[in-house]
Amino acid sequence: MFQSFLRKATARGFSAFLLASIPTFAISTQQVEVSGELASLSETHGFTVIGLAQTEDAFGRAEGDELYPRLRSLLEDFDYVIVQDATGGVNRVIVLGEKVPFEPSLPTPDTTAEDSEIEIRTERRGSQHVVRASLGGRGGVKIERELHLDTGADYLVLPLSLLTELGLDEQSLKEREMQTANGKVKAQIGILPSLWLGERSIENVETAFLEDGKLGSSGLLGMSVLGRFKVTIDEDKNSIILDSKEKGADAEESDEAEGGSKAPGDRRP
């Protein structure tokens, strides 16, 4: 019957219409330019995109009609944070960088180096610095992870799905609204037993756990860790230097005991 209709339609000049229409109904998922799709969605739904340049020349899946699932499928090849408002709407999307396979390269921990200066190599993802760390959970569990350096975040920020792997009890967490440089998000706050950065072990780290969809697969190295040290970021060498605050305080006290600060240019011993 359809073939008969097709012959009649062709005879009447409708074949071009039929041929052009068939692919439209056949496509349910399509590959789109990520940056263009993000810009279009942000204009339509009124949210802000930070780090749009990270998606340049990348393609992703445009899938689903609802905004939140569509963003997740579009950004599946990136580390990202989706900040939602109190009603569940999308307020801000932060693209941290493209996902890169994690290859552990941590040195053997040395607990004798507590007061030594530690220099940690970073990887650059656009303007972001990424470090490799080892998360210490209950019972000696260790999970290696990439963390994006973020001095605007109050806490170490990790995906909520890591709770079970780290042996932490979700019932012990407290819900809190977390203020970051990128906006406010709801988080579950708890204590991570330890975190290794290079040869330095940091104990009992206050940590914010976010839903995976809002954070992506990575994490943020915030001020609950960085605030314990004097931190120097070397943009040229792509590294960060962690130095003990206590060591700096001891040096100042020693200088005062010797009669105060030396004048500039004074080379006396």
Domain match, 171 and 41 both: no
Total domain count, the chain: 2
Strands 128-136 and 183-197: antiparallel
Does residue 140 register a pLDDT over 50? yes
Domain match, 85 and 188 both: no
Question: How high is the pLDDT of residue 268?
Answer: 38
Question: How high is the pLDDT of residue 91?
Answer: 81
Question: How high is the pLDDT of residue 39?
Answer: 92
Residue 18 in any domain: the answer is yes
Hey, what are 248's tokens? 């700096």
Domain match, 53 and 94 both: yes
Does residue 113 register a pLDDT over 50? no
More confident residue, 1 or 153: 153
Question: How high is the pLDDT of residue 29?
Answer: 61
Top-confidence range, 73-87, 91-105, 153-167, 229-243: 153-167
Does residue 200 register a pLDDT over 90? no
Question: How high is the pLDDT of residue 42?
Answer: 92
Does residue 71 register a pLDDT over 60? yes
Q: What is the pLDDT of residues 150-192, one digit of tens each?
A: 888 888 999 988 988 899 888 889 998 876 555 677 889 999 9
Residue 268 in any domain: the answer is no
Question: How high is the pLDDT of residue 183?
Answer: 62
Residue 105 in any domain: the answer is no
Domain match, 145 and 240 both: yes
Local confidence band at 3 (pLDDT 50, 70, 90 cut-offs): very low
Q: What is the mean pLDDT of residues 79-88?
A: 75
Q: Is the pTM value of this prediction over 0.85?
A: no
Residue 262 in any domain: the answer is no
Check which CATH number belongs to the domain holding 49 and give it: 3.55.50.30
Question: How high is the pLDDT of residue 46?
Answer: 92
Final residue before a domain boundary, out of 37, 65, 98: 98
More confident residue, 27 or 165: 165
Domain match, 144 and 40 both: no
Does residue 57 register a pLDDT over 80? yes
Residue 78 in any domain: the answer is yes
Does residue 239 register a pLDDT over 80? yes
Top-confidence range, 26-30, 57-61, 217-221, 239-243: 57-61
Structural domain boundaries enclosing 190 = 111-249
Give the least confident one: 59-68, 114-123, 202-211: 114-123
Residue with tokens 């012990």: 172
HEC profile of the chain: CHHHHHHHHHHCCCHHHHHHHHHHHHCCCEEEEHHHHHHHHHHHHCCEEECHHHHCCCEEEECCCCHHHHHHHHCCCEEEEEEECCCCCEEEEEEEEECCCCCCCCCCCCHHHCCCCEEEECEEECCEEEEEEEEECHHHCEEEEEEEECCCCCCEEEECCHHHHHCCCHHHCEEEEEEECCEEEEEEEEEEEEEEECCEEEEEEEEEEECHHHHCCCCEECHHHHCCEEEEEECCCCEEEEEEHHHHHHHHHHHHHCCCCCCCCCCCC
Give the integer Cα–Cα distance in Å for 134 and 147: 10
Q: Round the average pLDDT of the chain to a whole number and report it.
A: 75
Give the least confident one: 66-75, 125-134, 213-222, 249-258: 249-258
Does residue 118 register a pLDDT over 70? yes
Local confidence band at 217 (pLDDT 50, 70, 90 cut-offs): low
Does residue 126 register a pLDDT over 70? yes
Residue 254 sits at φ, ψ, to 5 deg, of -65, -40
